[in-house]
Structure formats: structure tokens, C-alpha cells
């Protein structure tokens, strides 16, 4: 009886080892790739940088992500996000005849990702932090009222590139057929007004 039990335990152990080896060979680093869409907020909140007053624009944001998760609680992601471009022109508070600036923030970002240890194998709660190479085109406008009605005249474009801190958090759910869906919030710190976005993503796990 002991011999049968020992043999059965050995077989089960070898089967478990084989399954683990197969899973590791299939996806040793937990690679995934995907993208998503969401709503961003593009703002100006520091007139000291030449932006005339405060504004908030809500635009459609797009995102592409390549990531890896070699261990259950830690991973990394390389991302590109486009926060969209405001379609309006923002009037200065102190001069009703002057129109201010719009920006078009977008950035490649390198994130480190931490996953909360929870006893739900298909659900993940995560937070991430990293470095973004934030690029913006500041478009300047003014109104020309020499004729009626007034017209808006473009004054020029100032390209700006900054290396800034980025962070985010979210929740994701693993589906069959190597698919994952995610909802998350991301933000980049910037003296021109922190662009942020709520995103919904879909990923394919290798």
C-alpha cells in the first residue's frame, strides 16, 4: 500500500513539474501587447509659462502598450499615449480680444508595475510609476478684429519636450484565449498642466 501511494505521489509530482515547465517554456517572461482608448483631460494651469489662464479640455486619448510580467507581483511596460488635441481656442480672462494656446500632449513612457497580492487568479489590482518623454505642440492664437466679424489668426507653434514623472493605477481581468481587459487611470506631471486619461484596454498574452 505504501509502495502504491509513493508511486502515485511520484507520478503526480512529475506531472505537475511537466506542466510548470511547459507553462514556463510557453511564456517565460509573461509578455503581452495591446492598446486602448479613453477620455483625457488637457489643461493649462500655470500662466507663468506663457499660457494665458486656466482651461480644461476633454479629448479622446489613444494608447499602445507592450509589457512583461516575469513574476506574479512585478512587471514592466513600454507605452505610447496620445492625449488628443483640443479643438477649441481658449480666450484669455484679462483680454476678451485675445485667444490663448492649445497643446497636443503625447509621450512614450517606461513604467514599473506592481500587482497587489489578492487571492483571485483572474483579477489584478495594480499601480505603476515611471518616466515619460512628454512632447507638446503649443499653438498660439490671437483674434483679429480689424474687420467684422473678428477672425482668429495663428501666431505660431512652439514644440516642447520634457522628461517627467508618470504614474497610474487600475484593474484588469484575464479572459480565455490569452486575452486581458483593463481599466486604468494615468497622469504625467508637467508645469504646463498635468495631462491625464481614463483608459480601457485589451491585451493579448503570449
Work out the average pLDDT over 37-45.
87
pLDDT, tens digit, for every residue of 115-138? 999 999 999 999 999 999 999 887
Residue 138 · residue 103 · CB < 8 Å: yes
Q: What is the CATH number of the domain that holds 64?
A: 2.40.160.20
pLDDT, tens digit, for every residue of 61-85? 999 999 999 999 999 999 999 999 8
pLDDT, tens digit, for every residue of 143-181? 666 777 767 666 767 788 999 999 999 999 999 999 999
Q: Give the pLDDT score at 68.
A: 97
Q: Domain count for the chain, please give it.
A: 2
Lowest mean pLDDT among 10-14, 127-131, 138-142: 10-14
Residues 59 and 107 in one domain: yes
Q: Which residues constitute the domain of residue 183?
A: 31-205
Residues 87 and 187 in one domain: yes
Amino acid at each position: 500500500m505504501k509502495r502504491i501511494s509513493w508511486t502515485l505521489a511520484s507520478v503526480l509530482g512529475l506531472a505537475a513539474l511537466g506542466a510548470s515547465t511547459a507553462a514556463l517554456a510557453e511564456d517565460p517572461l509573461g509578455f503581452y501587447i495591446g492598446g486602448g482608448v479613453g477620455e483625457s483631460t488637457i489643461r493649462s494651469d500655470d500662466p507663468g509659462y506663457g499660457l494665458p489662464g486656466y482651461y480644461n479640455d476633454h479629448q479622446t486619448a489613444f494608447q499602445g502598450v507592450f509589457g512583461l510580467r516575469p513574476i506574479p507581483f512585478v512587471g514592466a511596460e513600454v507605452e505610447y499615449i496620445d492625449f488628443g488635441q483640443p479643438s477649441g481656442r481658449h480666450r484669455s480672462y484679462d483680454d476678451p480680444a485675445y485667444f490663448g494656446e492649445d497643446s497636443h500632449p503625447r509621450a512614450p513612457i517606461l513604467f514599473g508595475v506592481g500587482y497587489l497580492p489578492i487571492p483571485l487568479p483572474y483579477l489584478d489590482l495594480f499601480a505603476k510609476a515611471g518616466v515619460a518623454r512628454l512632447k507638446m505642440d503649443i499653438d498660439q492664437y490671437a483674434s483679429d478684429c480689424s474687420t467684422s466679424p473678428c477672425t482668429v489668426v495663428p501666431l505660431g507653434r512652439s514644440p516642447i519636450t520634457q522628461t517627467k514623472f508618470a504614474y497610474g493605477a487600475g484593474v484588469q481581468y484575464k479572459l480565455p484565449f490569452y486575452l486581458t481587459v483593463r481599466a486604468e487611470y494615468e497622469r504625467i506631471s508637467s508645469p504646463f498642466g498635468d495631462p491625464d486619461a481614463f483608459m480601457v484596454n485589451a491585451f493579448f498574452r503570449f
